[in-house]
């Protein structure tokens, strides 16, 4: 068992529900949500209070699949107005304008508070987690909206992803850290966990990705522990080769890490596809109502 990992401070309380209009690389194509845009948040919360830090079945090990469709609306009244939905997302993040003009989440907003609750529960879990016999304890983290927050980019592009504009943000190392995640990440490493990063960003963005993580305070592990997608020369351990779906790429990479003698005690990701198909003891779902990667 790794050395004790101190838990975060007392669980924060959410702000009251927003009123007015807020109420009323090679990234795969993303689906913008209408009715289901806040499903990822709702899966973790009841009335705005985080109920559990992980998305799992009754055995606690395998993330539940996300909803993939919704009934066809019979009238427009059954569809959340897109403008109001975007305003609701902004209210959830506590939209704040930074000194450089970027829109960023408020450190006291409901997004930051929900993430803090998840991080606290993860800290408790990691302090007492049991590691497989003869295995080395490891953690896996995703990048976009798990360690680095992309809200600034989503607001700038009105939630419309474009690989060219996104690459400019990556190259400029423009993404801030997900609130509180640097503390969890660095503390776990100092307490005996080996850290791995698995991201769907392309291999060509390795240097900028690692520089951005370092810039905002992460103690980035060696290159061998940072996995990016390489469709030109996919590694031999990927049975799906250059045609991997997100969940195949992530899970087969985790299986490779296990083959090196590690027990993946926890896996952190903002997408269900980051967490599906096993090869982890527990999955921690970071909230992200902005986009959905199948």
What residue ranges do the domains of the chain occupy?
A: 20-67+80-285
Q: Provide the token pair at 23.
A: 């109420």
Q: Residue 61 in 3-state DSSP? A: coil
Q: How far apart are CA 184 and CA 284, in angstroms?
A: 13
Contact 118, 53 (CB under 8 A): yes
Helix boundaries (H) for the chain: 39-42, 82-93, 110-128, 151-156, 163-171, 181-190, 206-215, 246-259, 272-275
Residues of the chain falling short of pLDDT 70 = 1-68
- According to DSSP, residue 79 is labeled S
pLDDT of residue 241: 93
- With a CB cutoff of 8 Å and minimum separation 6, the contacts of 100 are none
pLDDT one-digit tens code per residue, 224-245: 999 999 999 999 999 999 999 9
Q: How far apart are CA 110 and CA 113, in angstroms?
A: 5
pLDDT of residue 1: 55
Q: How far apart are CA 248 and CA 264, in angstroms?
A: 17
Query: For the structural domain made of 20-67+80-285, what CATH number should be given?
Result: 3.40.50.1000
Contact 135, 262 (CB under 8 A): yes
Tokens 């992309």 label which residue? 150
Q: Provide the token pair at 27.
A: 């990234």
Q: Residue 114 in 3-state DSSP? A: helix
Q: Residue 147 in 3-state DSSP? A: coil
pLDDT of residue 75: 95
pLDDT of residue 3: 52
Task: Determine if the pTM surpasses 0.75.
Answer: yes
Q: What is the DSSP string of 22-68?
A: GT---PPP-BPPSTTTTHHHHTTEETTEE--S----TTSSSPPPPP-
Q: What is the DSSP string of 193-212?
A: PEEEEEEEEEGGGHHHHHHH
Q: How far apart are CA 104 and CA 205, in angstroms?
A: 23
């Amino acid at each position: 068992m790794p050395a004790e990992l101190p838990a975060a401070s007392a669980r924060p309380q959410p702000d009251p529900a927003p009123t007015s209009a807020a109420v009323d690389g090679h990234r795969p194509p993303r689906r913008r949500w209408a009715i289901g845009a806040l499903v990822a948040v709702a899966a973790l919360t009841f009335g705005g209070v985080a109920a559990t830090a992980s998305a799992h079945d009754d055995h606690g090990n395998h993330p539940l699949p996300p909803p993939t469709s919704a009934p066809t609306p019979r009238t427009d009244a059954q569809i959340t107005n897109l403008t109001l939905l975007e305003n609701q997302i902004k209210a959830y993040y506590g939209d704040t304008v930074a000194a450089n003009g970027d829109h960023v989440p408020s450190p006291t907003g409901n997004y930051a508070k929900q993430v803090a609750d998840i991080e606290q529960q993860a800290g408790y879990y990691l302090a007492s987690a049991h590691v497989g016999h003869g295995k080395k304890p490891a953690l896996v983290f995703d990048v976009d909206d798990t360690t680095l927050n992309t809200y600034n980019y989503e607001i700038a592009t009105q939630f419309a992803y474009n690989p060219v504009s996104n690459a400019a943000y990556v190259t400029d190392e423009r993404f801030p850290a997900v609130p509180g995640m640097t503390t969890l990440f660095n503390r776990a490493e100092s307490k005996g966990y080996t850290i791995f990063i698995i991201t769907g960003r392309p291999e060509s963005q390795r240097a900028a990705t690692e520089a951005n993580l370092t810039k905002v305070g992460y103690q980035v592990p060696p290159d061998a522990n940072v996995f990016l997608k390489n469709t030109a020369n996919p590694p031999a351990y990927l049975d799906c080769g250059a045609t991997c779906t997100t969940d195949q790429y992530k899970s087969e990479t985790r299986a490779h890490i296990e083959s090196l003698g590690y027990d993946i005690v926890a896996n952190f990701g903002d997408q269900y596809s980051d967490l599906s198909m096993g090869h982890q003891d527990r999955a921690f779902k970071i909230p992200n109502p902005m986009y959905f990667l199948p």
